[in-house]
Amino acid sequence: MGREVKKHPIIICRCEDITLDDVEKAIENGYTDLESLKRVLRIGMGPCQGRTCIPLL
């Protein structure tokens, strides 16, 4: 009877298509600094070089 609400992903890095969930999971797995997040997720490594996503972290 109730309507199911779809959860839309929150995009953090458009260049590399990384969501907030991706970042949260990486942090839960121990990747807590920017350099390790870059290595694991490639966040900040796209064409904009982090100008959009790094401030969101």
Q: Is the dihedral of CA 49, 54, 25, 15 positive or negative?
A: negative
- Which residues lie closer than 8 Å to 27 by C-beta, 6 or more apart? 37
pLDDT value of residue 57: 84
Q: Is the dihedral of CA 19, 21, 22, 23 positive or negative?
A: positive
Query: Where exactly are the structural domains of the chain?
Result: 11-56
Tens of pLDDT along the chain (57 residues) come to 566 767 889 999 999 999 999 999 999 999 999 999 999 999 999 999 999 999 988
